């Protein structure tokens, strides 16, 4: 029984690592990667543009989201200030911290379709869906918990109504103690 649990844990661990590696490799070469250079637009309400050099930021976490909507793979990156604060366990994150989340449609790995043993549900990033950004500025964004939000699709900001949803969604889904951030880092993140 213990061996089966270890094997299951090991398979999940390998899956998470594979998704992270695929997401990192894909975001460097996928159209989302070119948004910073091709977009000069800023988000409505919050006035946030795509951060220069965000592709070089460190990985905070990956996620495979199955509902609502299509299966998605997400990679969350943080700028150096956000990474430092998260490693130290600092909450709320300091002003100047920026988190980006890249989302792709999850596509089942073609070599995994007929697999019967091992991990039959391996996914790769497919069509890019969105780039979402959170910028911490406790003065400028005081009315929204200190965070400004942006979402870009194909390098262009989504509409004002979509941006109005961000603060309420984050307030409902993450506590003040979590600083309105959904992303939970790996348990050993502080050790890296």
Is pLDDT larger for residue 66 or for residue 84?
84
Contact between 190 and 87 under an 8 Å Cβ cutoff? The reply is yes
Q: Can you spell out the DSSP letters for 14-44?
A: HHHHHHHHHHHHHHHHSGGGGHHHH-----T
Q: Which residues contact 90 (CB under 8 A, 6 or more apart)?
A: none
* Average pLDDT for 1-16: 44
Tell me how far apart the alpha carbons of residues 165 and 120 are, in angstroms, rounded to a whole number.
Answer: 36
**Mind listing the pLDDT tens digit for each residue in 24-58?**
444 443 444 344 434 469 999 999 999 999 989 99
**Residues β-bridged to residue 133:** 100, 150
Domains and CATH numbers, the chain: 2-191 (3.50.70.20)
**Mind listing the pLDDT tens digit for each residue in 72-103?**
999 999 999 999 999 898 989 999 999 999 99
Q: Would you place residue 59 in the very low, low, confident or very high pLDDT band (cuts 50, 70, 90)?
A: very high
Task: Give pTM, 2 decimals.
Answer: 0.75
Token pair recorded at residue 149: 């939000």
Q: Would you place residue 113 in the very low, low, confident or very high pLDDT band (cuts 50, 70, 90)?
A: low
């Amino acid at each position: 029984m213990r061996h089966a649990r270890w094997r299951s844990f090991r398979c999940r661990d390998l899956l998470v690592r594979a998704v992270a590696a695929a997401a990192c490799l894909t975001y460097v070469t996928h159209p989302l990667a070119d948004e910073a250079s091709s977009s000069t637009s800023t988000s409505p309400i919050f006035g946030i543009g795509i951060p220069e050099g965000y592709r070089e930021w460190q990985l905070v976490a990956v996620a495979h989201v199955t509902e609502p909507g299509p299966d998605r793979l997400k990679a969350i990156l943080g700028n150096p200030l956000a990474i430092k604060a998260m490693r130290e366990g600092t909450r709320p994150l300091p002003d100047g911290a920026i988190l980006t989340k890249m989302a792709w449609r999850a596509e089942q790995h073609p070599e995994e379709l007929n697999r019967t043993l091992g991990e039959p549900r391996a996914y790769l990033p497919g069509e890019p869906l969105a780039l979402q950004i959170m910028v911490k500025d406790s003065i400028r964004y005081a009315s929204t918990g200190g965070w400004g939000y942006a979402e870009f699709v194909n390098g262009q900001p989504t509409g004002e109504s979509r941006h109005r949803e961000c603060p309420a969604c984050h307030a409902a889904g993450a506590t003040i103690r979590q600083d309105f951030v959904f992303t939970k880092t790996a348990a050993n993140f502080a050790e890296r």
